[in-house]
Amino acid sequence: MFNRKPVVTLENPTVEKAAESIKEAVSKRKAIILVGNCWVDYKGRASSKLESGERIVIIKKDGSVLIHRPFGYEPVNWQPAGCLFQTSIRGETLQVRASRKKPSESVKISFDKVFVLSSMNLIDRGEFSLHASELDMQKAILLDPSLLEEGFKPISYEKKVEPGFVDVYGVDREGRLVVVEIKRRTAGRNAALQLAKYVDFVKTVTRRELRGVLVAPHLAKGVQTLLTCLGLEFKALEPKNCADILRKSETRKLGDFF
Amino acid sequence: MFNRKPVVTLENPTVEKAAESIKEAVSKRKAIILVGNCWVDYKGRASSKLESGERIVIIKKDGSVLIHRPFGYEPVNWQPAGCLFQTSIRGETLQVRASRKKPSESVKISFDKVFVLSSMNLIDRGEFSLHASELDMQKAILLDPSLLEEGFKPISYEKKVEPGFVDVYGVDREGRLVVVEIKRRTAGRNAALQLAKYVDFVKTVTRRELRGVLVAPHLAKGVQTLLTCLGLEFKALEPKNCADILRKSETRKLGDFF
DNA sequence: TGCTAAATCTCGAAC
DNA sequence: GTTCGAGGTTTAGCA
């Protein structure tokens, strides 16, 4: 399984050797890690200058570039995916320029010493999932409808209505229809207005009594007033709680409910 | 100059050897680059799961962590500076956990194969300057006062007034005094109020006619109204234009003007 | 300490 | 293609 050699590392290469290696790696769509002493000039949406120092530079196969100092979460300089690269030797220095258009900008990195240069063919097809998404909150409410309120019974979810899709649709303990709109973060005016549109639409297709409930961790300023004006309700629900519910019920399938 | 050995690289270390090396590097406040096959779990403000794949992990001496897939500008998982680390072996896997409080969150990285492990003592004292800073804009206006308006003549800069320092102070083509406040980014209410304070102060020490001009690339919402109420003006000026002016006049010294 | 506004924001979806 | 909104946003500037 690990017989292939995905990483080739050069220690203390000459700048000439490094330039050659970078050109090859870029052309073969490999990822590159460069560690060495460098300085950086950026021109584009803004412009910046970084004086000489030892840093970590990552060039990815999609043409993105990251220049990291030995401290700090953010890269000091960078370039998003889609860059074209020019690698050259200028006297005693290795120069790598990453440019893109729209917006037109380029980062020029100059090395006078490379400590390590790794060229890598990394395989990464692993799926990334961020839990407690809006969908997770929806699933959690379907799994445990009391998260919305006692006696709530879901009828369907992602139900098509004219303006879009209702997140959850159900009946409360007194038999009234309930339209639920879910936001995983603080709900703003848009969320309230969206819910209002859904409720208005459902009103055109039924004569039953109807409630609209906005579910979110918090309401933005003034949205409670707006909800009241629109005759809608708010139910506070933390995405984290939903994630916990889902974790506890991982064995059960959502399909069981319908 | 480059006799020291700032980087030590292990190729294909066993997970045991890797764990040992990471513990030492963390305790000695070195930076670490790990390349290998791993999976990641995050719990905190949200929670996420990243399935197995080959990635680049950077641990910096300030306790920040970056997990980069072979594509994309952004790290797939990360942890800001100030983390505490737990490194251990769980069966055949190397496990690195980076945790912090406030907010309470942790990232757990599990490796079943390490291709490269570099421990680095990087020295980086280079200064970073984002050009077209507020100071650059100030210099540009002093170099070319027509950036503000035709006929403007600077008298001084960084002039002390009671509430602080006036960025630029001058006379317009009709002999009126002008107080200039510069912001390199969209100017908010604060900027307008700050300018108002300066103008009010200057009014107490002169009887000459007085204008207040806020210079910035843009105004935040509602600030134009506020300026009008305060009897102040706005002059749009892009930091980029200022940077261009400075580049063209690099040979001249600011001191020449006074 | 907490809040607000900006960022070379980036990224993705909708129009 | 452009605009709009979200992000584990992060970060810097103030109250």
Contacts B113 to A, Cβ<8 Å? 2
The pLDDT, as a whole number, for residue B132 is 77
* Whether B140 and B120 share a structural domain: no
Domain boundary among A103, A126, A149: A126
Residues 137-176 of A with CB under 7 A from strand D: none
The pLDDT, as a whole number, for residue A105 is 93
The pLDDT, as a whole number, for residue A37 is 98
Q: How far apart are CA A179 and CA A1, in angstroms?
A: 51
Say if CB A106 and CB A43 are below 8 A apart: yes
Residue A257 forms part of a structural domain:
no
Q: How far apart are CA A238 and CA A42, in angstroms?
A: 42
* Whether A114 and A139 share a structural domain: no
The pLDDT, as a whole number, for residue A249 is 66
User: Which nucleotides in chain D lie less than 7 Å from some protein C-beta?
Assistant: 2, 5-11, 13-15
Contact A35 B39 (CB under 8 A): no
How many domains would you assign to chain B? 2
The residue behind tokens 């017989």 is: A3
Could you check: is the Cβ of residue B164 within 7 Å of any atom of nucleic acid strand D? no
Q: How far apart are CA B68 and CA B58, in angstroms?
A: 8
Contact A64 B55 (CB under 8 A): no
Q: How far apart are CA A158 and CA A146, in angstroms?
A: 19
Averaged pLDDT in 10-residue chunks for chain B of 258 residues: 84 98 97 98 91 98 97 97 96 96 93 98 94 81 91 87 82 95 85 88 91 88 85 88 72 40
Residue B99 forms part of a structural domain:
yes
Long-range contacts formed by B248-254: CB under 8 A, 24+ apart: B249/B143, B249/B144, B252/B143, B254/B139, B254/B142, B254/B143
B208 CA vs D9 C1’ separation (Å): 49
**A3/B contact by beta carbon, under 8 A:** no
Q: How far apart are CA A44 and CA B244, in angstroms?
A: 12
Backbone φ, ψ for residue A164 (5° rounding): 165, -135
**B217/A contact by beta carbon, under 8 A:** no
Q: What is the pLDDT along chain A (258 residues), one digit of tens a residue?
A: 657 889 999 999 999 999 999 999 999 999 999 999 999 999 988 889 999 999 999 999 999 999 999 999 999 999 999 999 999 999 999 999 999 998 999 999 999 999 999 999 999 999 998 887 777 788 888 888 999 999 999 998 877 776 677 888 899 999 999 999 888 877 877 788 888 888 888 888 899 999 999 998 878 777 888 888 889 999 988 877 787 777 666 544 443 443
The pLDDT, as a whole number, for residue A74 is 97
> Count of CB atoms within 10 A of residue A154's CB?
19
* Whether A109 and A192 share a structural domain: no
The pLDDT, as a whole number, for residue A257 is 40
Instruction: Return the closest-CA partner of residue B70 out of B53, B88, B89.
Output: B53
The pLDDT, as a whole number, for residue B251 is 41
Residue A16 forms part of a structural domain:
yes
Any idea of the CA torsion for A193, A197, A199, A204, to the nearest 10 degrees? 160
| Cα angle value B178/B179/B182 (rounded, 5°) | 125
What tokens appear for B234 in the block? 């706005």
Beta strands in chain A (DSSP E): 7-11, 31-43, 47-59, 65-68, 77-79, 84-90, 93-100, 105-120, 128-130, 153-161, 164-171, 177-182, 210-216, 233-236
* Whether B118 and B71 share a structural domain: yes
The pLDDT, as a whole number, for residue B223 is 84
Residue B1 forms part of a structural domain:
no
Q: How far apart are CA B182 and CA B180, in angstroms?
A: 6
Residue B195 forms part of a structural domain:
yes
Shortest Cα distance, chain A CAs vs residue B73, angstroms: 5
β-bridge mates for residue B55, sequence order: B36
Could you check: is the Cβ of residue A42 within 7 Å of any atom of nucleic acid strand C? yes
Query: Tell me, what CATH number does B206's domain have?
Result: 3.40.1350.10
B34 CA vs D14 C1’ separation (Å): 40
* A73 CA: nearest nucleotide by C1': D10
**A31/B contact by beta carbon, under 8 A:** yes
The pLDDT, as a whole number, for residue B254 is 41
Q: How far apart are CA B152 and CA B136, in angstroms?
A: 18
Say if CB B158 and CB B167 are below 8 A apart: yes
Residues 54-73 of B with CB under 7 A from strand C: 72-73
Say if CB A183 and CB A163 are below 8 A apart: no
The pLDDT, as a whole number, for residue B80 is 96
Closest alpha carbon to C1' of D1, residue: A102
Q: How far apart are CA B122 and CA A159, in angstroms?
A: 56
The pLDDT, as a whole number, for residue B31 is 98
* Whether A153 and A95 share a structural domain: no
Contact A66 B73 (CB under 8 A): yes
* Whether B51 and B85 share a structural domain: yes
Cα-to-chain-centroid distance, residue B208: 40
A74 CA vs D11 C1’ separation (Å): 10
* Whether B18 and B107 share a structural domain: yes
* Whether A116 and A16 share a structural domain: yes
Residue B64 forms part of a structural domain:
yes
Please name the member of B54, B58, B62 whose beta carbon is closest to the beta carbon of A6: B54
Give the helix/strand (H/E) hosting B226.
helix B223-230
What tokens appear for A199 in the block? 């409720």
Write down how long chain B is. Answer: 258
Domain boundary among B75, B98, B126: B126
Say if CB A151 and CB A202 are below 8 A apart: no
Strands B65-68 and A128-130: unpaired
Contact B48 A243 (CB under 8 A): no
Q: How far apart are CA B3 and CA A30, in angstroms?
A: 30
**A38: domain range?**
7-126
* Whether B25 and B97 share a structural domain: yes
Say if CB B212 and CB B176 are below 8 A apart: no
Say if CB B228 and CB B196 are below 8 A apart: no
Domain boundary among B66, B92, B126: B126
* Whether B152 and B190 share a structural domain: yes
Which burial class, exposed, middle or buried, applies to A245 when counting CB atoms under 10 A from its CB (0-12, 13-18, 19+)? middle
| Structure confidence by residue, pLDDT tens digits, A190-209 | 788 888 888 888 888 899 99
First to last CA, chain B: 42
The pLDDT, as a whole number, for residue B222 is 77
The pLDDT, as a whole number, for residue A187 is 81
Which burial class, exposed, middle or buried, applies to B236 when counting CB atoms under 10 A from its CB (0-12, 13-18, 19+)? exposed
Residue B169 forms part of a structural domain:
yes
B101 CA vs C1 C1’ separation (Å): 15
What tokens appear for B96 in the block? 């690195």
* Whether A146 and A233 share a structural domain: yes
- The model carries a pTM of 0.81
**Quick one: chain B helix, strand, coil %, rounded to 5?**
25, 40, 35
* Whether A80 and A163 share a structural domain: no
Contact B130 A47 (CB under 8 A): yes
Residue A253 forms part of a structural domain:
no
